[in-house]
Structure 1
Amino acid sequence: MMTSELPPLVIDYHGDRLAGIDEVGRGPLVGPVVAAAVILDPARPIAGLTDSKMLAAPRREALDGEIRARALAFAVAEASAAEVDALNIFHATHLAMRRAIDALSPAAEYLLVDGNRLPGHHVPGQAVVKGDARHPAIAAASILAKVARDAGMVALDARHPDYGFARHKGYPTPEHLAALERLGPLPDHRRSFGPVKRQLALF
């Protein structure tokens, strides 16, 4: 359910190919930043869409399946940890967003992007602060991106169980920082991020 505490969202587009765009993974020390783009089908509404951070994991995963089954189009894309290091997290986030937008079929005609900046795509659109709580298409994108990135962290945890990735999802929690100090960075870690950079100097 979209929150009523934010001002009404005025959209300068009235067609059916409006894509919501959101990302997950700006803050973690490891892995890609993941973006999703979703064009919802007005004829097949999905109940309960909201900011992915407000949903428990089982509910997010159930909604992920509904979005994939009912949306007119959806795409999930990423920018790798190496691209984050090469471009910085801001530009890597926009790269992942552009990749998701480009992968939509049918293509989007208008973009609603969570945040305060558009990702530099030729499709017109608008940036929406707290958009994942203000428009269902952005909320749907936040859910797809969150479920995809969390699954990647669970897979990384299976390969490197001593780091606890399935629990903290790569964020700089005390558990993660302690594992970095004890074991050193992995190739998947973002070398430009301070805690990783400091450990690289020691190993």
Structure 2
Amino acid sequence: MAGIDEAGRGPVIGPLVVAGVLVREGKLEFLRQLGVRDSKQLRPEEREVLYDRIIDVCEAVAVRVVYPTEIDLYVERQKRLTKLNLLEAKIFASIINELSPDRAYVDAADVNPERFAETIRSFLSQDVAIVSEHEADARYPIVAAASIVAKTVRERHVLLLQERYGDFGSGYCTDPKTLKFLKLWWKRYRHLPRFTRWSYLPAKRLVEEHAQMRLTRFFS
């Protein structure tokens, strides 16, 4: 069976990472014994340790890293109510197709878990039972394992960005450090960094704010 989850859906900076793990049913108890649980309840260093152990336990692991440029292009092309949900469903399906489990447990990205499952099924090339639930990473160790893999991979990408470009905080829209970083970047370069999701509202507001300032100066 497989578990699939994502990390980085909400941040304005950095990639979205989706991970899937394939585990034999007889090894599920071993995941519990390792202490595998919702990645949000673990410190980064704990996730790093569990990441290596999860890789050893799994029959196979599949990871997709979706960069901001791809996210932006997809979000801008789709209807408002689908947007990122449809992109995630496609990626979840590609992982299921790669791992070929008989059953897949997924953390639902849609407010309607069954609709999310149906969307995934529409992209599958094989018949797979799908269990789609909210907070599946808190209920099923196999989804928690996928969550840990996804979050660890994303954190590694974010760390590389911070080492190169400086500390931008968590990358989330609500983080004052993130917003300050973007404002300073714009002030210096007059554009947003390529690792920013310009389709997200905070980035759009920043661009519109500076565009309005230029117009005000022009007509004053």
Q: CA deviation at 1:128?
A: 1.5
| 1:178 counterpart (180, 186, 209) | 180
Cα RMSD after superposing both structures: 1.7
Q: Which of 182, 195, 199 is the equivalent residue of 2:202?
A: 195
1:15 — aligned with what?
A: none
Residue of structure 1 equivalent to 2:152: 147
Bigger radius of gyration among the two: 2
C-alpha deviation, 1:152, in angstroms: 0.4
Equivalence for 1:28: 11
Identity within the alignment, %: 32
Amino acid at match of 1:171: Y
Distance 1:191 1:50 in 2: 33
Unmatched tracts of structure 2, length 5 or more: 76-83, 187-191, 212-220
Residues 1:93 and 1:83: Cα distance change in structure 2 (over 3 Å): same
| Cα distance in 1 between the residues matched to 2:60 and 2:183 | 43
Contact 2:92–2:120 (CA<8 Å) still a contact in 1?
no
Alignment-derived partner of residue 215 in structure 2: none
**What is the match of residue 81 of structure 2?**
none
Residue number in structure 1 paired with 2:137: 132
Distance 1:79 1:99, change over 3 A: farther
Number of the residue aligned with 1:120: 120
Q: Deviations over 1:126-146 (max 9, x none)?
A: 202210011111000000000
1:79 to 2:66 alignment: yes
Aligned residue number for residue 19 of structure 1: 2
Match of 1:92 in 2: 87
Cα offsets for 1:65-89 (capped at 9, x unmatched)? 0011111111111222122112222
1:43 shift after superposition: 4.2
Deviation at 1:31, TM superposition (A): 2.1
Question: What is the number of equivalent residue pairs in this alignment?
Answer: 180
5+ residue gaps, structure 1? 1-17
Which residue of structure 2 lines up, in the alignment, with residue 10 of structure 1?
none
1:150 CA displacement: 0.6
* SS of match in other structure, 1:36: strand
Report the TM-score, using the length of structure 1 for normalisation. 0.81
Structure 1 segments of 4+ aligned residues over 4 angstroms from their partners = none
Are the aligned partners of 2:3 and 2:146 in contact in 1 as well (CA < 8 Å)?
Answer: yes
